[in-house]
């Protein structure tokens, strides 16, 4: 039976029977998307305030990105890095120019970019800083989320991410996010890098105290330590600037990017930053069959050019201010955290029913995500003011006593 003849329940039953365990998806079977809207297999439309964990910053099926993908599909999709391709160099150059960095190492997922950053930081520590072999440490923040690989979950503070997966990779220290005193106390002569999200996503869209990121930069300079900024979720205009660190006028040594780097069309991530640091990786030290493939680079190049106009950054700033104002006005909301079109909405305990809140929103036609006691709001950056008002009104209805 073809997919279009199956009911929504048929699709969910097939996923439960044949798909491996992952997250617990909503009982909605999406089949189409355009801009800030999606349609399920039964024809019902929903306003998307989920945004694919920031992978859909450009909205669903942005015409420029779809056109780039279609054009590249007619040419070549994979060359591997055993050969050059005519999309790789232009993509790397224009991404570096957009972000004010010097070198780009493309890969496929955010977790892969983080793993690569850790490898680079360790090798840099041994070759450049003079840390004894095998002794390099990376300092991370509590409540972080950097991915799901075995090394990354090794320094997760979320026990449900770790239970049953040990033994874990050594070489990491954890300190409270936003606590510069604790961070200073953790740095030693063996510290290779400090790895942070400039705005913590899964923790609740948590913005650190003003000045903290500048102090992290100064600490790294004083201790000859690398500053690695994980901008997989918070980067590429989500917070209103191209990079979330731009809000503080801070430069990291290395950044990880992903998710919206290809506009939600296909997997693409990158480690970007200082050329002298990235060049500690020699030929054959690291690689990826699909990393930097021509199809991903063609779409990524189109995404970079959309960001280069500054329009999406401006939309995120202006519409984000409106979104935060509207959310702060809602009865039952105790706090709204975040920047740009990204908000962690803390709801009074007596109004919060965990997943039931987002289920009731879906019933009204709004897709959101609950996470650790708050509501995550992250619409695509192409959302309109009217669509923001429509979505917030639905949230108000669900929170009404």
Give the H/E segment covering residue 333: strand 333-338
Residue 104 — φ and ψ, nearest 5°? -130, 130
CATH number for the domain whose boundaries are 3-61+312-399: 3.90.1150.10
Q: Confirm whether 259 is a catalytic residue.
A: yes
Q: Which of 115, 230, 241, 253 is catalytic?
A: 230
Per domain, the residue ranges of the chain are: 3-61+312-399, 75-308
Residue 5 — φ and ψ, nearest 5°? -95, -5
Give the closest residue to 34 by CA, choosing from 390, 382, 388.
Answer: 382
338's torsion region: left (phi>0), alpha (psi -120 to 50) or beta? left
CATH class, range 75-308: alpha beta
What pLDDT score was predicted for residue 401? 86
CA distance 356 to 327: 19
Predicted structure pTM score: 0.97
ω into 167 cis (within 30 of 0): yes
Give the closest residue to 118 by CA, choosing from 271, 275, 252.
Answer: 271
**Strands, E, within 99-233: which ranges?**
103-107, 137-141, 172-175, 191-196, 226-230
| Tens place of pLDDT per residue across the chain (401 aa) | 566 789 999 999 999 999 998 778 888 999 999 999 999 999 999 999 999 999 999 999 999 999 999 999 999 999 999 999 999 999 999 999 999 999 999 999 999 999 999 999 999 999 999 999 999 999 999 999 999 999 999 999 988 888 999 999 999 999 999 999 999 999 999 999 999 999 999 999 999 999 999 999 999 999 999 999 999 999 999 999 999 999 999 999 999 999 999 999 999 999 999 999 999 999 888 999 999 999 999 999 999 999 999 999 999 999 999 999 999 999 999 999 999 999 999 999 888 877 889 999 999 999 999 877 799 999 999 999 999 999 999 999 999 98
Give the closest residue to 264 by CA, choosing from 56, 37, 49, 54.
Answer: 56
Residues near 199 by Cβ (< 8 Å), separated by ≥ 6? Answer: 205, 206, 207, 208, 233, 234, 239, 244, 338, 339, 342
**Cα 5 to Cα 10, 11, 42, 388, distances in angstroms:** 9, 10, 11, 34
Helix segments in 155-194, DSSP class H: 159-162, 180-186
What pLDDT score was predicted for residue 399? 93
Is the distance from CB of 305 to CB of 95 less than 8 angstroms?
no
Q: Which of 246, 253, 259, 290 is catalytic?
A: 259
Give the closest residue to 229 by CA, choosing from 253, 264, 258, 263.
Answer: 253
pLDDT for 49-93, tens place per residue?
999 999 999 999 999 999 999 999 999 999 999 999 999 999 999
DSSP 247: G
């Amino acid at each position: 039976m073809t997919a279009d003849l199956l009911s929504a329940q048929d699709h969910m039953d097939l996923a439960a029977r044949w798909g491996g365990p992952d997250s617990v998806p909503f009982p909605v079977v999406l089949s189409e998307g355009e801009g800030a809207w999606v349609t399920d297999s039964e024809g019902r439309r929903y306003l998307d305030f989920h945004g694919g964990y920031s992978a859909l910053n450009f909205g669903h099926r942005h015409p420029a990105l779809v056109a780039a993908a279609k054009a590249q599909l007619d040419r070549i999709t994979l060359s591997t890095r055993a050969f050059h391709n005519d999309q790789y160099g232009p993509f790397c150059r224009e991404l570096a120019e957009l972000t004010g960095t010097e070198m780009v190492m493309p890969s496929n997922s955010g977790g892969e970019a983080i793993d690569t950053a850790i490898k680079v930081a360790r090798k840099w520590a041994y070759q450049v800083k003079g840390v004894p072999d095998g002794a390099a440490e990376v300092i991370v923040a509590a409540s972080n989320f950097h991915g799901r690989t075995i090394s990354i979950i090794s320094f997760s503070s979320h026990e449900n991410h770790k239970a049953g997966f040990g033994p874990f990779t050594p070489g990491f220290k954890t300190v409270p996010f936003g606590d510069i005193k604790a961070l200073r106390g953790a740095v030693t002569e063996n510290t290779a890098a400090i790895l942070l999200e400039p705005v913590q996503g899964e923790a609740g869209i948590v913005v650190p105290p003003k000045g903290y990121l500048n102090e992290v930069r100064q600490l790294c300079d004083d201790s000859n330590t690398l500053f690695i900024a994980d901008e997989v979720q918070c980067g590429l205009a989500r917070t209103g600037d191209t990079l979330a660190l731009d809000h503080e006028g801070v430069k990291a040594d290395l950044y990880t990017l992903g998710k919206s780097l290809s506009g939600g069309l296909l997997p693409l991530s990158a480690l970007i930053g200082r050329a002298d640091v990235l060049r500690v990786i020699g030929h054959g030290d690291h690689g990826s069959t699909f990393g930097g493939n021509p199809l991903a680079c063609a779409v990524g190049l189109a995404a970079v050019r959309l960001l280069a106009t500054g329009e999406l950054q401006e939309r995120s700033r202006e519409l984000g201010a409106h979104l935060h104002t509207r959310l702060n006005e809602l009865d039952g909301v105790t706090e709204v955290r975040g920047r740009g079109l990204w908000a962690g909405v803390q709801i009074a305990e007596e109004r919060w029913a965990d997943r039931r809140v987002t289920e009731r929103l879906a019933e009204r036609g709004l897709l959101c995500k609950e996470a650790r006691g708050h509501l995550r709001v992250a619409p695509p950056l192409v959302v309109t003011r009217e669509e923001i008002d429509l979505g917030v009104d639905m949230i108000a209805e669900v929170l009404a006593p």
